[in-house]
Amino acid sequence: MKLLVTNDDGPFSPGLRILAEAAKSIGEVVIVVPETPKSATGLGLTLHKPVRVNKLTLEGEQLYLVSGTPSDVIYIAMNVVAGRPDMVLSGVNIGDNLSIQVMLTSGTLGAVLQAAIEGIPGIAFSAAVDEPSELEEPEYKQFVYNAVKAVLQAVVAHGFPEGVDVLNVNFPPVLTDQVVIAAPARNRFSPSVVKRKDPQGRPYYWLYGLPVEAEKGTDVHVVLEEGKIAITPITLSSLIEVRNHQVAKLVEEVAKRLSSPCGSARPRS
């Protein structure tokens, strides 16, 4: 099995080393990552400037560094570095990727979602820690390694779940052997914008978020309150709802207005 290992934290993340080492237990590993951290880049692609690729040998491991986003990595890896992988693995991210709000902006998820668009299954791994040093603490590092390896070996043994494009796996900040399927919360943070001024008196802004209370039964509650590993299956087709009755009535109303004399009138110049 050919495995593409990537992340959004760059080549020096301890989470990357944990994931790559665990992935070697199930297949051939190729590591292609953004050359610098690219958190919160989502599915963004670099279309306005060239993308460059460089090689780096780090602790005896060969890596390919891409001057773009995690989504860029997918296309560079497929078309330049190693060909089409059987599966894409992203992480282990420093910080959780819980809730729909966070998943849609996450670079870690962006890589596997971009791969899923190309029909390649993927798994994103994230740890609910604040600093790289926490992931390097020996006992916690071993816990994450064992858990990643368990997920990968289970997928090999049973096959990737049918009808699922991506698995989003989040590890709690505490050691555990409990793992559950968890639906994503809608929100993880309450967004805020702070206005400040630079030395010339010109305004600038910081965007940040304050955590919201976790709803029971959601991935946020499972990981941060219950201290369990959460696995959230993602299916791209579920993002689109074309059989909604209210949408059908809306489309009928639009069609009726377009077919009326007023609707067919030309716009004023």
Binding residues for a divalent metal cation: 8-9, 39, 93
How far is Cα of residue 212 from the mean position of the Cα atoms in its chain?
20
Using alpha carbons, select from 127, 141, 217 the residue that is nearest to residue 171: 127
How much of the chain is in helix, strand and coil states, percent to nearest 5? 35, 25, 40
Cα–Cα separations (whole angstroms), residue 57 to 11, 54, 75, 119, 244: 10, 10, 22, 30, 52
Structure-derived torsion over alpha carbons of residues 223, 193, 67, 7, reported in degrees to the nearest 10: 0
Please name the amino acid found at residue 119. Answer: G
Beta strands 61-66; 229-234: pairing state: unpaired
